[in-house]
A and B are shown apart, each in its own frame.
Chain A
Amino acid sequence: MIQDLKEKPDSKYLKVIFYSNLIFHGLLLLLVVALLVLSLVFDWTLVPFYICIGLLIASFVIFNLIMPKLEYHRFSFEVAEDQIQIKSGVFWRKIVLIPMVRVQHVQYKTGPILRKFNLASISISTAASQHVIPGLPQSYARELKDIIGEHAKVEEPYEQ
């Protein structure tokens, strides 16, 4: 069993995912309703509508009620002086180790829903990859951004 790392996103982040997924599913629902209306007006078969509504409900249950909780539960991270560790994945679990000296830049991001809950995300870029730590309290995210930025400045040890 892989141990959890020290830190986790804010628990309010679950609500953010819930609302953003809700909006997404709401838009899909509008499309499905449009399909229903068209089907009734033009007297088409209702089978596609049933399939779509079924898929929509399944998707809502899986991606809005079940997966976010599991993902949140499995996500943890740790920022140390020399490296950042991020653990994620529900079935295929993954740990990423990012040496501080490899960090090229850190980005502080926040969207409308995240802002509503006073949350923000940090994204860490290396020359080869990009990693996101989502849903941190805004003040902490800023602090973390500065901490990583400070550590990343360290002169690269050169081994020959």
Chain B
Amino acid sequence: MNNKFKLPKIDILFQLITFIRHMVLPLVLIFINTIKVMPWWGTLSVIGGVLLLLLLFAFLGWRNFYYVFMDDRIIIYSGVFTKKEKTIYYQRIHSVNISQNIVHRLLSLANLSIETPGVGMGKSDGEIRCLSIDKAKYLQNLLQRMGEASRGDAIDKREQLLHSIVANMENSTSRDVVETLHIENVEQGHGLANTAQSLDQNNEHAENIQSAATEVYKETKPEVNVKLDSALMFKSAISSLNLNIVFVWFAGIFAFADDILNVLFPNSTFIDDFFEQLEFSESLIIVIIVTLLCAMVMTWLLSVVFYILKYFDYKLERKGKQIHVSYGLFNRQAIVFNETKVQSIIFEENPIRQFIGFGELKVNIVKSVQEDSSSFSTHIVVHPFIHKNNIASYIAHLMPKRQLNKHEQTEKLPRASIRTYLLLPLILVTVPSIVSAIWLKWYAFLFIILIAIVAVWRLYQFKTAAFSIDESEIKLVSRSISRQTVYVRRQNLIVLSEGATPYQRKRGLRKISFNTLGGLVSTKYVLQGISAEQMDRAKLWLSQYLKR
């Protein structure tokens, strides 16, 4: 059985484009510097030489890349000069993700990444690029199933799965795979038993392992199915505050504003004149307020657009033990993970949604950060818009093995920690404000507003913060702008830390923080200003579990 596979040749092209994208700046520099001293054909040949070198690298990268399926692991060989050999045991796989950018989508290709913990910064090193989307989906499913099979002693099943993987990878046309994908109506859970039964009854199939193997993999009916229909999409989009993306966008505009104005109004001084003529008057305040309002509306509209692009065609399905999530218009993501691999559950409400009682439900799983993703978070949305009273029942439905505890005794922070929240930020804002107010005179009233905003914001954070331990689960509520409620099981907690500043020590206050898997290296959850007694309880809670 040949179970060694290579990437399709088109990967060379994609790699070349990636290399060129990383090399654009040096190439431009070469061009600018050489054009002065060389004739045009000299410059072109230098750049052509560099491109040829990159092409050679891309080709060698492709030639040295292959992967092998074993019965308990997959081995990926890669590297041009330093050869790498990455072994991934199926059992260790936390999630398998498919990502497609717009070009991939047009060519129906996809990158598949196999995620294991401890890889570290950024990119996954279990990546198989440029598979056809059908093969990628097929592998995504089967790799997870292999993991389940390795966990038990189902050696037969594992062999069958392996056969079926190899058989389907060998099919050069994706059509065959699609056909196997769409054999329907076998309930998950009975899967193997049913196959065995049908094998007994049906002698035609019994002789042929290959076809038996393909039968193991069947399209099962999802048990939980969430789709973002247009009404729900509309509601969640208009209540979304995708602030981080919008800020980046605005920063970009401001950075280019001068250049744009210069292009639009060359040689004109009217902007400078405008600022010189500014005088403090009531009409100016109105202008400022109107500008701010316009900016806010723009921000909001942009965040709606970004939200729709990001979560377009959001789908969540639970098939057997696996949870499938997919979303995105231009950059499409498809993630498959096992419910037991969920590290933490997060419920996030931005102020608008909190007001109407809704929020976004997310889980943290081990997953690398996509190159073109807008955030460094590895939180996967499992419901984009859910009422806070429905979370527990939804989780129970979605992940029966990972239910939420009740947390009836959620405690607020001690009053003494108000100062922890207020003191330092206020000093940081007030001192520069006073200095600038003395310098800039009438702008002072803006600084008063700023101080007020900071004070209200920090007080709000203090009021939101809460802490609870319920049997095997810890719950932290905190706020940056959105309120974030984190639920972590004791078994998923890796390191617990206690911190205290001199002031906090004096008042018997602590900072609690703990790490779970997931994220760039790990995900850290922090809550400032809990009481020393609460901290001790958290420590005791962790050690009790360890003593058992």
Give A contacts to B, CB under 8 Å.
Answer: 1-2, 82-83, 89, 91-102, 104, 126-129, 156-160
Nearest to B402 among chain A residues (CB) is A160
Please tell me if the beta carbons of A127 and B548 are within 8 angstroms of each other in the complex: no
Find out whether the CB atom of A98 lies under 8 angstroms from the CB atom of B498: no
Within 8 A of A (CB), among B524-548: 539, 542-543, 545-548
From the candidates B490, B495, B499, name the one contacting A126 in the complex (CB within 8 A). B495
Are A128 and B516 closer than 8 Å at their CB atoms? Answer: yes
Q: Are B489 and A97 in contact (CB under 8 A)?
A: no
Please, which residues of chain B bring their CB within 8 A of the CB of A91?
501-502
CB pair B497–A95 under 8 Å, yes or no, is yes
Q: How long is the Cα–Cα vector from A108 to B117 in the complex, in angstroms? A: 23
Instruction: Check A128–B505 contact: CB distance below 8 A.
Output: no
Say whether B491 contacts A83, CB under 8 Å: no
Cα distance, A88 to B517, chains bound together (Å): 24
A129-B546 in contact (CB<8A)? no
Closest B-chain residue to A131, C-beta based?
B495
Closest chain-A Cβ to B247's Cβ sits at a distance in Å of: 29
Cβ-defined contact, B499 with A97, below 8 A:
no
Q: Is B451 an interface residue (CB 8 A)?
A: no
Do A159 and B491 touch (CB < 8 A)?
yes
Tally of A-B residue pairs with Cβ under 8 A?
78
Partner of B515, one of A83, A94, A128, A156: A128
Q: Residues of B contacting A1 with CB < 8 Å?
A: 505
Q: Is B369 an interface residue (CB 8 A)?
A: no
Residues of A within 8 A of B497 (CB): 94-97
- Distance in angstroms from B257 CB to nearest chain A CB is 38
Q: Which of B494, B501, B542, B548 has the most CB of A within 10 A?
A: B494
**Do the beta carbons of B521 and A93 come within 8 Å of each other?**
no
List residues of chain A with CB within 8 A of the CB of B547.
82
B13 an interface residue at 8 Å Cβ cutoff?
A: no
Specify the chain A residue showing the minimal Cβ separation from B532.
A2
Q: In the complex, are the beta carbons of A157 and B495 less than 8 A apart? A: no
For residues 498 through 523 of chain B, which have their beta carbon under 8 Å from a beta carbon of chain A? 498-502, 505, 515-517, 521-522
Given contacts A127-B118, A128-B522, A160-B401, contact A96 B495 (CB under 8 A): yes
**Beta-carbon nearest neighbor of A98 in chain B:** B495
**Is the C-beta of B496 less than 8 angstroms from some C-beta in chain A?**
yes
- Is B472 located at the chain interface by the 8 A CB criterion? yes
- Asked whether A93 and B472 contact (CB < 8 A) given A83-B546, A128-B521, A159-B491, the answer is no
Given the contacts A97-B539, A99-B546, A92 and B491 also touching, CB distance less than 8 Å: no
* A96 & B496 in contact (Cβ 8 Å cutoff): yes
A97 and B496 contact, CB distance less than 8 A: yes
> What's the Cα separation between A112 and B499 when bound, in Å?
33
Q: Is the CB of A99 within 8 A of B516?
A: no
| CB <8 Å contact, A157 and B494 | no
17 A-B residue pairs with Cβ-Cβ distance under 8 Å, sorted by A, are A82-B546, A82-B547, A83-B543, A83-B546, A95-B498, A99-B493, A99-B495, A126-B515, A127-B118, A127-B522, A128-B494, A128-B495, A128-B516, A129-B522, A158-B491, A159-B489, A160-B401
